[in-house]
Amino acid sequence: MSDREKFNRAVSTAREFDPYPSEFLDHEFEVYDTLREYLPVARSEAMRSASLDGAGGGWVVTRYDDGCEILKNPADFSNQTQNYPVRPWIPQAVDPPLHTSYRRVLNPWFTVEAMTKLEPHLEQYAADLVDEMLQKDAFDFVADFADPFPTVIFCELAGFPMDDYAQIMDWKNLIMHANDGHPRGHELAHAKAVEMGLEVGDGDRLPEEASLAVRAQAAQATYAYFSELIDERRERPKDDLVSQLVQARLDGERDLSQEELEDTLFLLFMAGLDTVASALGLIVQTFAQNDAKRREFVGLMEDPARVGPAIEELVRIHSIVLLPRRITRELSFHGALFREEDQVLVPTQGINRDRDEFPNPNEIEFDRMPNRHVGFGLGPHRCLGIHLARRELRIALQAFHRKCPDYSLDPARNAVAFGGMKGLASLPLSKG
């Protein structure tokens, strides 16, 4: 192929770029590599589901330096996007300086010290779940471990009653996975759309209007649930995040309003339920297909000096988060003209495989140094739960591999992936 042909191919790759359907995953890194080489600041007309108002199109950047520049500049690249059902989430959808005030309330609960206190409980729960899972000959790593482990821990931490676990998971699956290839999310969304009398079409995906309506309805139900929970904890405080949030003072000056409390819980809920589960599924899928890398990890995972950097490298290689930003003023960005109110997407997956920053970007190098990956984001919106996520990943991978150092993909049952904030809905494995 001539350079001209390669460039033309990149232009159509850009135009059709949409990371939300699960089919995108079949060639995602090829797409990011093509864009990075030929159109590092690219315009997509297809990036439709990025925005809840259904408006199409937006920019996508794939160079590490460009992504970092955007994430570190909240004045020009705002987090106040339209991507939120009902109301924006706090603090994710708020810009500094107000964002800083909210983070000051939340930060102390997610410090290394606070998370270290949780470690014995995390270790015990991980070991118990692994034992239960391994009683079966063929097991599903995602359904039996990766989904419940971080979710249950998070519900305990936040103070969501465990009796409501199934309902909470259904709302999460509706809001996050109505239309991204997640079988449970799609099943729930389809049923709800029929119940609401919406046009559901006959394809694998719901029409955008139905998907948006179903997500908004589930979000409303979740808000109503949080509202009751907040009232309950205001009356009878417990040792959990909801109770502490109710008592928190913003800038030491005022209580959080009922809406602020609900919007904060909503963010914690969305950020806490899927992310570690998704990363765990993708990491173990890679290990199931790569005996040498898995054995290398098992060989170093008990070494406190090496396991931390190894987890960072696994987060780099399996970054899952797509970070949309709203452009606040017309500006020229590395040759592209960004218009006010346009959207630009920073896909951490693409940024974290830029060879200019990470030599051999597609190789897992457990001792990679430096490793300035942006898997937990960058700038003021850096993942609040970073220290919880790191601990959960380490403890989960240690607990699993201590009991089951050798495994492979189950030849009879395929893994099921979903797109967007990608992950696995199912990962059947066989021992040995």
Partner 1 sequence: MKVRIDTEVCQGHGQCVMVCGAVFRFDEQGFAVVEAEEVPAEHEDAVARAELQCPERAIRTER
- For residue 357, the minimal CB distance to partner 1 (Å) is 10
Can residue 254 be called a binding residue for partner 1 (CB under 8 A)? no
318 binds partner 1 (CB under 8 A): no
Of the residues 306, 379, 402, 413, which one makes contact with partner 1 according to CB under 8 A: 379
Residues between 18 and 77 that touch partner 1 (CB under 8 A): 68, 72
Both structure tokens of 95: 């810009």
Binding mask 387-426 for partner 1 (x = CB under 8 A): x---------------------------------------
Determine the Cα–Cα distance for residues 343 and 252; give it in Å rounded to an integer.
35
Q: What is the DSSP letter of 418?
A: E
Among 212, 421, 220, CA closest to 322: 421
Stretch that binds partner 1, among 15-23, 108-116, 325-333, 412-420 (CB under 8 A): 108-116
Asked if 6 is part of the footprint of partner 1 (rule: CB under 8 A), the reply reads no
Nearer to partner 1, 98 or 138 (CB): 98
Cα 163 to the center of its chain, rounded Å = 25
Q: How far is CA 222 from the centre of its chain?
A: 19
Which among 157, 50, 159, 224 has a CA at the least distance from the CA of 391? 157
**Least distance between partner 1 and beta carbon 80 (Å):** 19
Binding-site member from 8, 107, 220, 362 for partner 1 (CB under 8 A): 107
User: Quick one: which of 20, 125, 338, 376 contacts partner 1 (CB under 8 A)?
Assistant: 376
Cβ contact 248:240 at 8 Å: no
Find all residues with CB under 8 Å of 320, minimum gap 6, and list them.
275, 278, 279, 282, 348, 349, 421, 422, 423
**Angular region, 138: left φ>0, alpha ψ -120 to 50, beta rest:** beta
Smallest distance from partner 1 to CB 108, Å: 6
In the complex, what is the shortest distance from the CB of residue 382 to partner 1, in angstroms, rounded to a whole number?
4
- Determine, following the binding rule CB under 8 A, whether residue 117 of this chain makes contact with partner 1: no
Should residue 306 be labelled a site residue for partner 1 when binding is judged by CB under 8 A? Answer: no
Q: Supply the minimum distance, in Å, between the C-beta of residue 37 and partner 1.
A: 24
> Whose CA is closest to 258, among 227, 225, 219?
227
What is the DSSP code string of 7-61? HHHHHHHHHT---SSGGGGGGHHHHHHHHHHH-SEEEES---TTSTT----EEEE
276 binds partner 1 (CB under 8 A): no
Q: How far is the CB of 380 from partner 1 (least distance, A)?
A: 7
**Residue 308 found at the interface with partner 1 (CB under 8 A):** yes
Tell me the C-alpha distance between 375 and 388, whole Å: 14
Instruction: Tell me if 350 contacts partner 1 by CB under 8 A.
Output: no
Interacting residues toward partner 1 by CB under 8 A: 68, 72, 104, 107-108, 110-113, 308-309, 312, 369-374, 376, 378-380, 382, 386-387
